[in-house]
Amino acid sequence: MLPNSPVFPPVSSTLASKVDLLFFFTVGVSVLFSVLIVATIVAFLVKYRRRHAAETGQEIKGNTLILELAWSIIPLGLVMISFFWGAAVFFESSRPPADAWSFHVYGKQWMWKVEHPEGKREINEFHVPVNQAVKLTMTSEDVIHNFSVPAFRLKMDVLPGRYTTAWFKATKTGTYHIFCDQYCGVDHSKMVGKIHVLEPQDYQKWLVGGASAGGAVATGGELFVAKACNTCHRSDSSARAPILDGVFGKSVSLADGRTVLADESYVRESILSPASKIVQGYQPIMPTFKDQISEEEIVQLIRYIQDLKPAGAAAAPAAAAPAAGGKS
Ligand SMILES: [Cu+2]
């Protein structure tokens, strides 16, 4: 929209120009009315100024129906346009498309950690393919942060203790800024990063080459054994604990009569506070893993559970294309 403008960031995602258009519309309407109001005030100041000391105002009686209707209906119409237009853009920005690749983002004083669908990790650098929808599931390891990429018009709070999601589809290759948009401590201003948008073949090349940053984290399968989840959650169903194969993405009946969707937040809650949602037909014997497991390990377990197919179905091709990453 404004190429190479120092005022506006580049327009590099499918959502960016839609957000800009809405922004310019609301600013335009506001400026138009501000100018009209100020001009009217000035004109009336001059026109109805007191011309001699004894002058009194004329009494005004009755009303002008057309005028009253006009100044009610026109602003209502304009506000409704902003409302429905804004709602449409909001819905689009908050619903990742079904074919989005699933990335995880961790905010931490003072860095951004990213995990790719096939497990590769990086810090403050984020490589993504162009023209591919990317879904971010984000959480914080300490305080509230905010993941912001101005070029994508993307900005989402990253909170400790829960998952927030955002998505984007980059439309132009290049390197763009990542900022933390929520004051989070002394080095908040250094909590910045770069997002590199690559051609799909360059992204694949990048994926196979180079080491993964951020230290090794055990895979979900290893953790499932190391944390002894497998002693209760066995696929041969000794009836102590529900079989987890195929549970992800399904709805689960709880002992108190509610049903919940087994999504990432549900699995996370099941691990950290198992007693808050008890599965129907089971005893609350699962211990909490709070303080014994890191946010990154929880995500590994979620991914492992996500890939557990119901008995009989073909096993998921291990770490094939990143497209195999979750589609919740
Ligand atoms: Cu921050």
Asked whether residue 266 falls in the same domain as residue 304, the answer is: yes
Total count of domains within the chain: 2
Asked whether residue 145 falls in the same domain as residue 179, the answer is: yes
Asked whether residue 142 falls in the same domain as residue 239, the answer is: no
Ligand 1: centre distance to CA 127 (Å):
20
> Which run of H or of E encompasses 126?
strand 125-129
Phi, psi torsion values for 290, nearest 5 degrees:
-55, 140
Give Cα 171 distance to the centre of its chain.
18
Asked whether residue 116 falls in the same domain as residue 174, the answer is: yes
The span from the CA of 306 to the CA of 244, in Å, is: 9
pLDDT score, position 29: 94
The span from the CA of 147 to the CA of 181, in Å, is: 7
The span from the CA of 159 to the CA of 272, in Å, is: 16
Q: Which of 174, 208, 242 is the last residue of a domain?
A: 208
pLDDT score, position 316: 42
Structure tokens at 31: 């400026």
Ligand 1: centre distance to CA 311 (Å):
43
Ligand 1: centre distance to CA 164 (Å):
15
Ligand 1: centre distance to CA 254 (Å):
37
Ligand 1: centre distance to CA 142 (Å):
9
CATH of the domain at 131: 2.60.40.420
Structure tokens at 80: 């409704």
The span from the CA of 76 to the CA of 154, in Å, is: 29
Ligand 1: centre distance to CA 105 (Å):
12
Ligand 1: centre distance to CA 111 (Å):
7
List CB contacts of 241: < 8 A, sequence separation 6 or more: 232, 233, 234, 282, 285, 286
pLDDT score, position 242: 86
Asked whether residue 229 falls in the same domain as residue 191, the answer is: no
Ligand 1: centre distance to CA 220 (Å):
27
Ligand 1: centre distance to CA 145 (Å):
4
pLDDT score, position 238: 63
The percent helix, strand, coil of the chain (3-state, each to 5) is 35, 20, 45
In a domain, 150, yes or no: yes
Asked whether residue 182 falls in the same domain as residue 270, the answer is: no
Ligand 1: centre distance to CA 109 (Å):
6
Ligand 1: centre distance to CA 159 (Å):
10
Domain of residue 243, residue span: 220-324
Q: Which of 208, 243, 261 is the last residue of a domain?
A: 208
Asked whether residue 317 falls in the same domain as residue 282, the answer is: yes
Burial class (CB in 10 A: 0-12, 13-18, 19+), 242: middle
Taking the chain (328 residues) in consecutive chunks of 10 residues, what is each chunk's mean pLDDT? 67 93 94 96 92 83 89 94 96 93 93 89 92 95 94 94 94 93 93 94 86 68 84 73 86 90 91 89 86 86 85 47 41
Q: Is 12 helix (H, G, I), strand (E, B) or coil?
A: coil
In a domain, 47, yes or no: no
State the alpha helices, DSSP H only, in 160-294: 200-208, 220-226, 229-232, 264-272
Ligand 1: centre distance to CA 107 (Å):
7
Asked whether residue 204 falls in the same domain as residue 245, the answer is: no
C-alpha distances out from residue 287 to 232, 271, 291, Å: 11, 8, 12
Asked whether residue 283 falls in the same domain as residue 304, the answer is: yes
In a domain, 3, yes or no: no
For the stretch 148-166, pLDDT in tens is 999 999 999 999 989 999 9
Asked whether residue 132 falls in the same domain as residue 182, the answer is: yes
In a domain, 240, yes or no: yes
Ligand 1: centre distance to CA 31 (Å):
34
Residue 172 sits at the vertex; the CA angle it makes with 8 and 212, to the nearest 5 degrees, is: 110
Ligand 1: centre distance to CA 147 (Å):
8
In a domain, 299, yes or no: yes
CATH of the domain at 275: 1.10.760.10
Q: Is 74 helix (H, G, I), strand (E, B) or coil?
A: helix
In a domain, 76, yes or no: no
Q: Which of 188, 208, 228 is the last residue of a domain?
A: 208
Ligand 1: centre distance to CA 146 (Å):
6
